[in-house]
Amino acid sequence: MRWMTTRRPWRPAGLALALCALAVGCDDSEQPAESAGAGCVSDLEFFQQQVSLPVLEADCVNCHNPQGIANQSMLVLASAGETDYLRRNFEVLREVAAFERDGVNLLRGMPTNQIPHGGGQRFKVGSDTDKAFQELIRRFDAPVVCEASSEGSGLLAKVELVDLPGTLRKAKLQLIGELPTVEELEQVSSGGAAALEALLTGYMQEDAFYETLKRWWNDDLLTDKYARGDEATNLLDSDDFPRRHYYRDLPDDTEAGQLARRWSNLSVAREPLELIAHVVRSERPFSEVLTADYMLLNPFSAQVYGLDTAAFDDPLNPMEFKALKVDGVPHAGVLTSPMFLNRYPTTPTNRNRHRARTVYRLFLATDILQKADRPVDPTQIRDHNPTMNNPQCTVCHASMDPVAGAFQNWDDRGRYRLPEEGWFSDMRPPGFEADMPPDDWGRSLQWLAGQIAADERFALSAVYAVYTGLVGRRPLTNPQDQSDPRFEAKLAFYNEEQAFLRTLVDAFQAGGQNLKVIIPLVIESPFYRALNAPGLSEDEAVVLAPLGTARLLTPEELSAKLVATLGRPWQARVNDRDQLTHRDEFLFFIGGIDSDQITDRISEPNGIMANIALRMASDMACLVTAEDFNRPLAERHLFPLVEASYRPEDDNGFAVPQAEEAIRANIRYLHQRLLGEVLTPGHPEEDATYELYLQTWRELFAGIRNEQVPTALPGRCRHERDFWSDEALEDDARLRYDPEGTLRAWHAVLTYLLADWRFLYHQ
């Protein structure tokens, strides 16, 4: 008997609604395509709750997966580990539901075995599962769109948020490494979210913002591996770019020579990151990071590539960038950057698959290997050319290999070289989801870039990158352990985050893929501003465990915070190495990366890191206390409300109320400046810090009086040289003594505050 499968005619909503009597959770009102208000269950939610979780993921996927025995059927499901798997499976089912045999819809006819099913009957006609499938088919015909998102876990309602001024401080420090001014805080206090957004928009014009942006993307691209020495320019072919080392020939006693040595390699190494920054800065569609038919070069990198520098206003300005082309090279943004191509190299047998996987990961929010999360059994792989023929291999290679083919014109050294014998005949042809038109083979990566840019997962990847940068973790993966008693709550919280990310994608697309659009949206959201959640049950605490932005500051962020709050980085003199960010200092101990061998940041402190934080606190306090007291009152960063002569007690041990009041006021000032805490007078935390000050001062003052403690400050803690100019101060302008012990008491207070969790962590 030959079965005839036919595509169903489009069914009007009214007819579909007639099925409602049979359906599960069906609204029998005459709402054709939209529903709203409380209780509304969107199609995707319905699909997840009633079909995907209890049926597809629990049963069907065992055969209907790319490696399974039903992998040649219409129903091939994405695994739950894949990005956006729910939406994709929803579409797969929609396609299957478009067909019927003898009047029975394929989607429910097969599992009920009304239509012969290789897997036999999975559920009975008329069962609850069958009703759920009927309802899903009805919804395919008459989509239910809810106006508001679902109620979600409801747990976010229990969360206290950072107020807007606090949010501003947090965001400004993170985006550009500066503290908000008093005026800005007042603007936000009076102007609310609109004022906050306006200020954020302003910060996104600052150069420092683009340094942050480049750091976010480098954590993924890792092209800073080549930032040192000649490591980037060495990667370039000397025949293609005979001037790749031009800077070596310049005299090193000239400004041009010195600048060229300093900037040429670094600018070449950072070209893909500069392109990303440029696209965002100029508010172009973010897809241009892939579709740019140019390279972003400054005068130094332009010379490396042998290009004319006449276009530059200032040939010695490393911050001046131009969109330039190398003759004969079909540029495709990051994809054709020699740095990207070398950072993700290929071999004769790898055949660009590493590059393809990276493209999926970075620009399509897809870990392609999640498709093959199921165990592979090599003893079952006996096919000829298994990557083409064996389901154990094709599960990944069917998607990966066409993209690998798109890199066909770029060799293992990242050079543009058309393959003499064409692409491999034993691999899938170049393409992306579909084959690449032969006319485009000469510009295959440009073609690929266009395809990716049009894929919705590209927008998702951009949103994920921004969200990860700001919140400090990647978006949640969907919970899969249905035996977990907290499964439903975790799923609801996951759905809440997904719904939020979806709004970001929509805003990103509506804004012409302007990346800046989504940054304020994340910053204003509870996912960024969550502060406290008193009274959570143990179960709720587990579900909300990922919420919030608390994480150790990276070495780069901590260094920037020191400059923002104390006015200088952690180094004794301006030409010394930064103790936090230099690879020969503490960088790797405190979780930094080198973009080469060390590519993951450590987020949990260990005993080593704790000690380094204590040393940093003590040393910075030592370096800046005398320095700050040596400034005029109005110019001080840290002690604008006290003088070194303010002692809390007189010689007879009696309190000096005016001095105590000033000291307490300065303590409140320091809590706000360093920790972002606004303390009211008499606050217990003010009392505690004052007590530390007072006890330390008493100890030192007594020691000074009985000559057990010297009046001279330790050499490192004296102020004898201007930090930024590195010029020695006149003898009478130096501050070397602490005859009252007050400087060292403040030194203790600063150490205490700089070692605090609030200072060391981003929250």
Q: Which of residues 337-366 bind another protein (CB under 8 A)?
A: 347-350
Pick 308 or 481: Cβ nearer another protein = 481
Closest C-alpha to 155, from 474, 397, 491 = 491
Closest C-alpha to 529, from 550, 507, 544, 557 = 550
Residue 305 backbone zone (phi > 0: left; psi -120 to 50: alpha; other: beta) = alpha
Separation between Cα atoms, residue 415 and residue 421, nearest integer Å: 17
Residue 564 tokens, joined: 């923002």
The verdict on 583 binding another protein (CB under 8 A) reads: yes
The verdict on 618 binding another protein (CB under 8 A) reads: yes
Stretch that binds another protein, among 166-174, 276-284, 319-327, 610-618 (CB under 8 A): 610-618
Position among 220, 230, 237, 699 found at the interface with another protein (CB under 8 A): 699
What is the Cα Rg of the chain in Å? 31
Chain-centroid distance of CA 355 in Å reads 21
The verdict on 705 binding another protein (CB under 8 A) reads: no
Write down the least CB distance from residue 623 to another protein, Å.
Answer: 10
Stretch that binds another protein, among 131-139, 190-198, 242-250, 582-590 (CB under 8 A): 582-590
Compute CA distances 483 → 138, 273, 278, whole Å. Answer: 30, 44, 48
Pick 322 or 582: Cβ nearer another protein = 582
The verdict on 530 binding another protein (CB under 8 A) reads: yes
Binding mask 159-198 for another protein (x = CB under 8 A): x---------------------------------------
Strands (E), 522-602: 530-532, 551-552
Pick 483 or 658: Cβ nearer another protein = 483
Pick 127 or 606: Cβ nearer another protein = 606
Pick 184 or 628: Cβ nearer another protein = 628
The verdict on 704 binding another protein (CB under 8 A) reads: no
Residue 514 tokens, joined: 């302007």
Q: How many helices (H) and strands (E) does the chain have?
A: 28, 11
The verdict on 685 binding another protein (CB under 8 A) reads: yes
Residue 43 tokens, joined: 């199609």
Separation between Cα atoms, residue 97 and residue 47, nearest integer Å: 13
Write down the least CB distance from residue 353 to another protein, Å.
Answer: 10
Closest C-alpha to 416, from 326, 488, 500, 546 = 326
The verdict on 375 binding another protein (CB under 8 A) reads: yes
Separation between Cα atoms, residue 166 and residue 678, nearest integer Å: 10
Using CB under 8 A as the binding rule, the residues of this chain from 88 to 127 that contact another protein are none
Pick 286 or 360: Cβ nearer another protein = 360
Burial of 62 (0-12, 13-18, 19+ CB in 10 A): middle
Fill in the DSSP letter of residue 719. Answer: B
Position among 174, 498, 696, 742 found at the interface with another protein (CB under 8 A): 696
Pick 19 or 542: Cβ nearer another protein = 542
Stretch that binds another protein, among 104-112, 228-236, 516-524, 529-537 (CB under 8 A): 529-537
Pick 303 or 689: Cβ nearer another protein = 689
Give the three-state DSSP class for 737.
strand
Residue 293 tokens, joined: 């038919």
Q: What are phi and psi of 324, to 5 degrees?
A: -125, 155
Position among 591, 664, 719, 735 found at the interface with another protein (CB under 8 A): 591
Closest C-alpha to 305, from 276, 281, 285, 331 = 331
Position among 120, 328, 378, 632 found at the interface with another protein (CB under 8 A): 378
Amino acid residing at 245? H
Using CB under 8 A as the binding rule, the residues of this chain from 29 to 48 that contact another protein are none
Position among 531, 656, 704, 729 found at the interface with another protein (CB under 8 A): 531
CB atoms within 10 A of CB 691: 10
Using CB under 8 A as the binding rule, the residues of this chain from 621 to 640 that contact another protein are 621-622
Is 322 within 8 Å of 305 (Cβ atoms)?
no
Query: Scanning the structure block, which residue is given the tokens 């951009």?
Result: 462
The verdict on 602 binding another protein (CB under 8 A) reads: yes
Using CB under 8 A as the binding rule, the residues of this chain from 741 to 760 that contact another protein are 744, 747-748, 751-752, 755-758, 760
Is 523 within 8 Å of 200 (Cβ atoms)?
yes
Stretch that binds another protein, among 132-140, 367-375, 400-408, 660-668 (CB under 8 A): 367-375
Is 471 within 8 Å of 309 (Cβ atoms)?
no
Residue 703 tokens, joined: 């020691």
Beta bridge partners of 39: none
Is 272 within 8 Å of 258 (Cβ atoms)?
no
Position among 181, 282, 482, 695 found at the interface with another protein (CB under 8 A): 695
Write down the least CB distance from residue 245 to another protein, Å.
Answer: 27
Position among 487, 589, 669, 723 found at the interface with another protein (CB under 8 A): 589
CB atoms within 10 A of CB 645: 9
User: If binding means CB under 8 A, how many residues of this protein chain bind another protein?
Assistant: 85
Position among 61, 176, 232, 372 found at the interface with another protein (CB under 8 A): 372
Pick 114 or 618: Cβ nearer another protein = 618
Stretch that binds another protein, among 213-221, 298-306, 369-377, 449-457 (CB under 8 A): 369-377
Residue 29 tokens, joined: 């009102």
Position among 25, 419, 714, 739 found at the interface with another protein (CB under 8 A): 714
Stretch that binds another protein, among 14-22, 84-92, 490-498, 608-616 (CB under 8 A): 608-616
Position among 127, 254, 532, 711 found at the interface with another protein (CB under 8 A): 532
Pick 304 or 755: Cβ nearer another protein = 755
Pick 220 or 756: Cβ nearer another protein = 756
Closest C-alpha to 274, from 325, 219, 215, 330 = 215
Beta bridge partners of 762: 551
Separation between Cα atoms, residue 747 and residue 570, nearest integer Å: 15
Position among 85, 500, 586, 746 found at the interface with another protein (CB under 8 A): 586
Write down the least CB distance from residue 121 to another protein, Å.
Answer: 28
Separation between Cα atoms, residue 174 and residue 315, nearest integer Å: 32
